[in-house]
Amino acid sequence: MADKLRAQQQLEALQARYVGTGHADTTKFEWTSNIQRDSCASYIGHPPLLTYMAIGLGEPREKSENDTARRKATGGTGLTAYSI
């Protein structure tokens, strides 16, 4: 019984610390928007990856960065070059 309680407490501690891990009441929309926001933040935080994506899209790096930042701010629901 103590093991189950300890496991539950550890899970709650992780969920409080890392918001993106979700919980039992997390909807599919919340989960996917968290994933999209985290991905966009990672793209912006790693300039070589952002440059690689810009080359693949055939657009300037700055435009890719702005589009990615807009997608992050809107939770991936904004209209960008990626969704056209």
Please check whether residue 68 lies inside any domain of the structure. Answer: yes
Please check whether residue 4 lies inside any domain of the structure. Answer: no
Please check whether residue 58 lies inside any domain of the structure. Answer: yes
The structural domain count of the chain equals: 1
Please check whether residue 66 lies inside any domain of the structure. Answer: yes
The pLDDT score that the predictor gives to residue 15 is 79
For the stretch 37-74, pLDDT in tens is 888 899 999 999 999 999 999 999 999 999 999 988 88
| Statement: residue 1 has pLDDT above 90 | no
pTM: 0.64
Please check whether residue 55 lies inside any domain of the structure. Answer: yes
Please check whether residue 59 lies inside any domain of the structure. Answer: yes
Q: Are 75 and 68 in contact (CB under 8 A)?
A: no
Q: Are 67 and 52 in contact (CB under 8 A)?
A: no
Please check whether residue 11 lies inside any domain of the structure. Answer: no
pLDDT bracket for residue 76 (50, 70, 90)? low
For the stretch 20-42, pLDDT in tens is 677 778 888 888 888 888 888 99
The pLDDT score that the predictor gives to residue 61 is 94
Please check whether residue 82 lies inside any domain of the structure. Answer: no
CA–CA distance, 76 with 60 (Å, rounded to integer): 20
Which range marks the domain in which residue 64 is found? 47-72
| Statement: residue 7 has pLDDT above 70 | yes
